[in-house]
A and B are shown apart, each in its own frame.
Chain A
Amino acid sequence: MSAAVPTPSGYFDCRDSFANVIETLAEADPRIVTVVSDSVGSSKLTGFRKKFPERMVNVGIAEQVLVAVGAGLANGGKVPFVSAASCFLTGRALEQVKADVAYSNVNVKLIGQSSGVAYGELGPTHHSIEDMAWLRPLSNLTVIVPSDPWETAEAVRFAARHEGPVFIRVSRMPVPALERKNPVFTVGKAEVLREGGDIAIIANGVMVHRALAAAAALAGEGIEARVVNMSSINPLDEEAILAAAKTGAVVTAEEHSVRGGLGGAVAEVLATHRPVPMSILGFPGFVPTGSAEWLLEHFGLTPAGIAEAARRTLARKAQ
């Protein structure tokens, strides 16, 4: 468990988990370096810079060379963690991510910080609700969307020991530490956090604790919802998706566009192998001005919104 510090409300900023783990790993593994684009503070890497000044490469505000330098450092035997705001890391440098990292299949770790709508009022230029759609088709690239501080820490440890390209989506939106009876992190394996036979809610990232709250509310109405944490987008746990579909209805929830993300991935599997009534919760496209919390509320990405979508989807199952 990382030494992430909870806020007074008991919520955590997952960037702290990333920063704490990378500092610890770097002490033991001299190959680990960080690469940033004037994104030291926003990546919570001031501590790393203080401990390992010669092992941080700051290229300035230049995302194309940011990612390419990561690929070059890997060629030179380093294990680079390339950390920048997810909107710029993926959107601005997408061709470098595709050609230099994924297609070249090199040992680069991409950390997409402050993903989703975490930058709320700054608007769609700074939101990263398209990143999963851009990255999901890239072969070789492992893509992880952790749900809480423990899973973020585990994902970073995995990335450090895995030989190959990895993308980790790290939110700055505060999330609670999820309760797990038997915490085991395995890339490519979804995690069933709550059993239920009426419907399945598949979520990742900051939506997982909201999905659990929705399931608790539904249980009060006699609806038993299975909650699946699908933090691993590449590779995708198709078995877990098909098992979820045995309930007869599926709702997906993600802090992303409804097009091309988790919902799209689940829909591809279900449409091909086991079609069931399904709802995809996310953002319809560019969103209006508002705080991150307000935007989630406005677009129904709340426990109440997920529960309502579950009821609607269940009604279609009965038809």
Chain B
Amino acid sequence: MSSSAPAHHMQTNDLVSAIRAKALWIRRRSFQMVYEAQQGHPGGDFSAADILATLYFGVLRFDPTRPNDPARDRFVMSKGHCTGAFYSVLAAAGYFPEAELSTYMLPLSRLNGHPNRNYLPGVETNTGPLGHGLPVATGIAIAGQIDGADFRTFVLTGDGELQEGSNWEAALTAAHRKLENLTLIIDRNRLQQGARTEETASLDPLDDKWRAFGWHVEIVDGHDHARLLDILSVSPKGRGKPLCVIANTFKGKGVSFMHDNVAWHHGVPNKEQYEQAMAELV
């Protein structure tokens, strides 16, 4: 990690506390967005919240006032349906005013159900259809490799999304080119829209698959901010391989009745559920 990285500006314990607070805020704010819009994907918002908070407040180097800075670290949100969490973290990171989150999915809002880079600073590529983020992130990393540039490229995919073959095309390309500047984080919540991944088109042994494709693999509790920070902050220089972080998570993490419950993939809360969830998210 370079000397400009935020991890060096704060004691690690303080940093982890700050990240934990941001993750809680992301869960609360994104759930409010889903409640008000009566649309969204709150289960995936919650499984990704800790990963996003760690990236934006502990790992990524960026300046929200210069979203197109060529030297910025890139983050690609491949699970583009989880815009509750993604827009919340972008607002918290300073890309646009937090008040704008209340326009989520309203007519003519910049906050579409899936992100659009032409409306919103901080979005690197338009996602929504699954299996698009890793291939585009691979191209970004190749540009950095050609230039010998210092920036890193991170991409967050769902796990069900790995059933899309385009990911495995990119897996081949990234390993062939030894893209050590590329980090894939898999939000391994084991639930896709309709059922468990392993009951639908099984992915396990997922770590062996990525190793066999030529990637360096780390397995981590995707809700453990300190461990995520450790793994994602390590300088990739000299690794000689792209990094795949399998982040074991729970869909709906943080709210008892949503925890590991497929109904909350795109379930929306009624008033009682909303109030109960907010009472638990403290």
Contact = CB atoms under 8 A, between A and B. Distances in A.
A54 B177 CA distance: 12
A285 B150 CA distance: 51
B74 interface: yes
Contacts, number: 103
Given A65-B173, A78-B146, A96 B135 contact: yes
Interface string B223-238: 0000000000000000
B interface SS class: helix
Interface string A50-92: 0000110101101011001111111111101000000000000
A100 B132 contact: yes
Nearest to B125: A104
Contacts of B70: 76-77
Interface in B126-147: 126-129, 131-132, 135-144, 146-147
B74 to A, nearest CB: 7
Contact of A76 (B135, B143, B169): B143
A286 interface: no
Contacts of A42: none
B7 interface: no
B10 interface: no
Given A65-B173, A104-B117, A71 B142 contact: no
A96 B137 contact: no
A104 B173 contact: no
A76 B142 contact: yes
A106 to B, nearest CB: 8
4 interchain residue pairs of minimum CB distance: A72-B139, A76-B143, A68-B135, A69-B139
Interface of B: 70, 74, 116-118, 124-129, 131-132, 135-144, 146-147, 149, 165-166, 169-170, 172-173, 176
11 contacts: A62-B173, A64-B165, A65-B166, A65-B170, A72-B143, A73-B140, A73-B142, A76-B147, A95-B129, A99-B127, A100-B136
Given A64-B135, A76-B139, A99-B132, 7 more contacts: A64-B131, A64-B169, A72-B141, A75-B143, A95-B129, A100-B136, A106-B125
Interface of A: 33, 54-55, 57, 59-60, 62, 64-65, 68-78, 80, 95-96, 99-100, 103-106
